[in-house]
Structure formats: C-alpha cells, structure tokens
Structure 1
Amino acid sequence: MPAVCRRALAAIAMCALFTSLGCSPVLPTPRSDVEKTDVPRPAPRWGIVIHGGAGVLDRASLSPEREAETRAVLTASLEAGHGILAKGGSSLDAVTAAIRILEDSPLFNAGKGAVFTHDGTNELDAALMNGHTREAGAVAGLRHVRNPIALARAVMEKSPHVMMIGEGAERFAEQEGLALVPESYFYTEERWQALQRALAAEKKAPPPPQQGKPQSFWESPAGRDSKFGTVGAVALDQAGHLAAGTSTGGMTNKRFGRVGDSPIIGAGTYADEGCAVSATGHGEYFIRYTVARDVCARVEYSGMGLGAAADRVVMDILVKAGGEGGIIAMDAQGNVAMPFNSKGMYRGTMGADGIASVAIFRDP
C-alpha cells in the first residue's frame, strides 16, 4: 500500500478513536490563520523636524505681519517634507524638499535670504547626510547655486567626495545641471542694511576680550545686529531611516573665506541609524565641540535619551563655553529634541498625525 494511503487511513482511525471517546480532535491551525490572529503591530513612528535659525528673537523685534509670514513658510516647509514621508518616501527626499522651501524664501539666512560678507558678496554652505548609509555631501563658498542643499546631495550621490568648495563646486553644479543664478539673485535690502550696520559697529568695536575669557558672539559687532538664520531639517521615514540637512549664508560681515559649522559633518550636520541632528548657532563653537556628533554619540554610547543628550550639549557644555544657538534632533523611535540657549529659534515638527506645529519664541 502506498505511504500516502497509509497516512490517510491512520488519520481516519485517529478521528474515529477521538469520536468514540466523546472528544473532538485538535487539528493544527493553518499558518495563515495564525498570522491573521497575531496581535496588531503598532503603526511606525515617523515625521520631520525643521529649524529656521536661532538668535536674538523676541516679540518686540518681530511684527505680527512678519511673524505670520514666517510661520507660513515654516509650515509650507514641514508640509513639503511630510508629504513625501506620508507616501512612503525617503527621509533624504523629505529633508531636501523641506530645506529647498526655506532656501527659496528671503526670510531665512540661506539661499535667497543669505546674509552678506564683509566684501558685500553672498557665500553659501550646505550639507546633507544619510543616516542609513553614513553617506554625506557638503558644499561651501557658493555664489551662484540657487539651492545649495541640492548640490550637497549631488556631491553625495554623484561624486566620490564628501565636500566641494567655491568655483570647483559650482563647476560640478553646472555639470550636473543644477540651477545657477546671478549674484544679484541673493540681494535683499534687509540683508544689505544689516551689513551696513555691522560695518559701522565694527569701527566702534570694543577692545578684544582678555585671554581666557571668551567673548559672546552677541557682544561682537556682527552679533549685535544678527540672528542665526541657518535652516535645517531632520526626518525619520516609514522604513525607519534617518537623514539630516543644513543650509546657510553664514555670518553677516564674515570675511577671509570663513566657513561655519553647517557643512561640517559632525559639527552642524550629522545622521546615523539612531540619531540625526541639524544645528544653528555660533559655528566656531559648534565646530570645536563637534556638537551634532556629540549628541548622537551620547545616545549611542552612554545610553542617554535623545532629550537628555541634546540638553547636556546645548544647555550645559555650549553655555559654559560661550557658544549660543540650538539644534533639532530626532532618534530612530521618532523622539524629538529642540533645545536652544538663545532667546528664540524658528522651529517646527510634523508627525504621522499630519498636524504641523510651529514655534519661534521660548514661551508658547
């Protein structure tokens, strides 16, 4: 008798035995039924966080009309990034889209609204990092690239390098077909007048501080008439991958080819599988204290939560050093931190619930 028949007869006999004993045989449940009755998995946490710079921001310095306009652009930036994430798009795409909105607005110190250097030019920097792969792209000293964040991404994806600067970076932008604009595109009267005030204040500058006593940026000629208008974004997509990006026009009245922290990976921009950070503030301090990487390293190695790690770096270490500014950060669980030690910071968040939240001042 074939083996298959023997197994069938054995099964029939077993059923007959159970029936004679008044019992019902317990048959194995098909795997598909087990899967259907599994406990539902919680929906993944994902979302985006943005900033539009930190600095001397108080209600007296911002008209209701300007505040409303600023909040509208911040909201549009959040919606651009969130729209990509909601469709299952990547955190890298979301960060890039959100920052482009801010770069195209004259309200922020990046792209169209970039501040002027001492020589009356605009020099733009940006960086982008993929936390999933640790790939990164950065650019500095740009004068004709409309959206520096797009060039930073091209450096990351279409070159073997991490950073390009100046004319070489712009030649690469032209080669990749990115939008180039005349220098006049970046001119805004507001930024030009800020430079004139900084130049006038520079002539009346107090003597340099005594050695060992760091001078607050806000006490410097440029600082008294500036805010840190750098823009940035961090995002967590539905696949659980993080990304971070930052774009800036630098400091009003900067000179000698100065580059701040924004395009420096680990200083103003950083992302890995567990943490992503974009910073805004006095770049020299953020570079010296490798702020973005320090926050993520504390999360990775010390077991600190994101909020505690961010507060330790921004509200303690930087404050003691004399550095001012803030960060936005997100971890792989979707937790968000936005500490700043200045008077205000343009910032916003938008999660899976689709509700945009925007703030400027320290108080609600």
Structure 2
Amino acid sequence: MTKPFAIAIHGGAGTILSSQMTETHHQQIVSALETAVCAGYQVLKQGGDALEAVVVAVTHLENSPHFNAGCGSVLTHKEMVEMDASVMFGDQKQVGAIAGVRHIKNPITLARDVLKHSQHVFLVGDGAEEFAFEQGHTYTEQDYFFTDRRYEQLQSMKEKGLFALSESSYPDDKKFGTVGSVALDQSGNLAAATSTGGVTNKKYGRVGDSAVIGAGTFAENNNVAISTTGMGEAFIRHTVASDVAARMRYLNEEINVACDSVIHGELKNIGGEGGLIAINDKGEIHFSMNSLGMYRASIDLDGNVSVKIYADE
C-alpha cells in the first residue's frame, strides 16, 4: 500500500497586485509553478526521498527567469549575481548550505552536495565554488544570469541610494524574491529547500535568511518542514522556521496555528513582511503570509494540484 506523500513550493511573497498583472505574465508564472511542483511530485510518486524531491522542484524554479533565484537572480551593487541556498533533510536533521556563489547554475544542488558529500554544513564564496567544481558542477559565466529587467532594477535602486528586491515597473516588483519547497516522502521523511538571488543593490557580501538553517529553512521528521520568503533580516532575527517547528514540537500546536502565530504575530509587528510554506508529518500543507500575495503551488495527499498567487485565493 502506498504511504502518504505530498509537496509544496513557493516563488516569493510580497506586494503582488492582480490589477498590474497581465494575463500573459500570469500564465507564465502559473505554468512555471505547476511545472516545478509536478517535477518534485514525480520524484515522490516513484518512491524517491523528500530531499531529492525538493531539490528537483527548486531547480526548476532556479531555471525560470520569473523568480529571484538561479537565472532570474537580482544584481548586487557591483552588477554581479550572488546566490544563497540551503537544504535540510528531516532524518537526523542533515543540512547543507551555501552563500555568495557567482558561477553555479543551480545553487540548490550545490547545497545538497554540501549535505551529502562534505564534512561541513555551510560553505561560502570562493570556497563553496571550489567545492562545487570538485563535485562536478560546471562553471557558469555571469552572462547566463544577466537580464535587462534586473539591470534596470539595479540602476533604479542606485539612483535612489536604496537596496530592495526591485521597483514598481513590474506587477510583482515589491516582492521578496526567494524560491523554496517542502515535501513528505513515502518513508515519512520531511525535507525543505530554499534558494535566492538576494536583494537588488546589496553590498558587503550580504546574506539573508535563505541560507540560514532555522531562519529560512527547517525540516524535522515526525514534525514539520518549512521554507520561508520575506525580509531576510527580520526572518533571521526571529528564527522564523525553527520557531514554527518549536511551537509544534513543544506546544503541540497544529500546523496552521503555529505558522500563522509567527507570521502574523511578532514578525508582522516588527514590519517583517513575507510568508512561508510548511508541511507536517501527516502531509498536511499550510501557506501563511502577511503580504498581499505569494507565488505558491502544491500537490496534496490525494494528488490534487493547486496553484495560487494572491493572498485572498
């Protein structure tokens, strides 16, 4: 008898307005989300583990220019791409994380390789890339990541002396760009993965919550797996992902209560805009956000596919 399995993904949360979304752009986003979640689901359906499922799903999102990760990453102050990612496998709480990589096509696969093939849990910058090439990752020129859209956003931020995800030239430009996935496999394992290009015009090697275990990513068997998206500094300060897990572990809160208590509670009170996706050990999925929208998709225990964008859906 097949045991329960399910998966969910996100492509970032923030100010996403239907009034500014063209039908073409809407369909492109929906198609990209559906493709990614179905790819991860197929891994689970074939008996694969949750870690591989979330990595496959996030890889598809990194390969889409519509999300701030991989080839859609925003640009730093020096007009470079610097990407962060992390994974966590609920079995024995295995983790892998990388930050500040510039020449790796799919950072999430590198984070997975840190988990599987290194004695460490977190690698950064040149060292992370040195390890990547030892693992067979190919060198990817910065040109692969460069888009006119991201360049225009950077120039706008430079003119204003600000750093942010982007500006209002696009319907989702005030969105915190992160992608992620959570899954439960047929063996009862939970896993989470998160990847990002960071924020536009960032300086000094800034790293947000996506690479930080317990802030942007967390997975614990017999409990919950979480991937967040939002104002990275706030999510780190409040260790959002681990806080949700702790509420479920120690207070026995239901998944929706734990998630909403954190996202709509202290985080919102300090202006921490964003959201998260979560799945528990029963395969129940919950999306929580204090923003106007979050790109998200899921395939539940019955195989039903759901793709949504706005908070009121």
Could you say whether these structures have the same fold, taking a TM-score greater than 0.5 normalized by the shorter chain as the test? Answer: yes
Residue 228 (structure 1) aligned with residue 187 (structure 2): no
Count of residues in correspondence between the two structures? 307
2:109 — aligned with what? 150
Within 2, Cα distance between the matches of 1:101 and 1:232?
A: 11
Within 1, Cα distance between the matches of 2:107 and 2:285?
A: 26
1:113 pairs, out of 72, 85, 89, with: 72
Within 2, Cα distance between the matches of 1:288 and 1:116?
A: 24
2:257 — aligned with what? 308
Worse overlay, 223-232 or 325-334: 223-232
Q: TM-score normalized by structure 1?
A: 0.82
1:272 — aligned with what? 220
Taking CA–CA contacts closer than 8 Å with sequence separation of 6 or more, which of the two structures ends up with the larger relative contact order?
2
2:273 — aligned with what? 324
Runs (5+) with no aligned partner, structure 2: 169-173
Residue 82 (structure 1) aligned with residue 30 (structure 2): no
Deviation at 1:63, TM superposition (A): 1.1
Higher strand share: 2
Within 2, Cα distance between the matches of 1:221 and 1:266?
A: 23
2:171 — aligned with what? none
Partner letter of residue 312 of structure 2? D
Deviation at 1:156, TM superposition (A): 0.6
1:10 — aligned with what? none
Within 2, Cα distance between the matches of 1:356 and 1:188?
A: 31
Deviation at 1:294, TM superposition (A): 0.3
Q: TM-score normalized by structure 2?
A: 0.95
Identity across the alignment (%): 45
Rg (Cα) greater in structure: 1
Deviation at 1:320, TM superposition (A): 0.7
Structure 2 matches for 1:282-361, cutoff 5 A? 282-361=231-310
Residue 242 (structure 1) aligned with residue 160 (structure 2): no
Worse overlay, 226-235 or 135-144: 226-235
- Give the alignment's Cα RMSD to 1 decimal: 1.4
Worse overlay, 345-354 or 184-193: 345-354
- 1:323-362 deviations in whole A, cap 9, x for unaligned? 0000000110111111111111000110243221000011
Within 1, Cα distance between the matches of 2:139 and 2:278?
A: 31
- 1:174-207 deviations in whole A, cap 9, x for unaligned? 00001321011100111111111111222xx7xx
Runs (5+) with no aligned partner, structure 1: 1-40, 206-219
Query: Is residue 198–residue 222 contact of structure 1 (8 Å, CA) maintained in 2?
Result: no
Within 2, Cα distance between the matches of 1:348 and 1:296?
A: 21
2:151 — aligned with what? 192
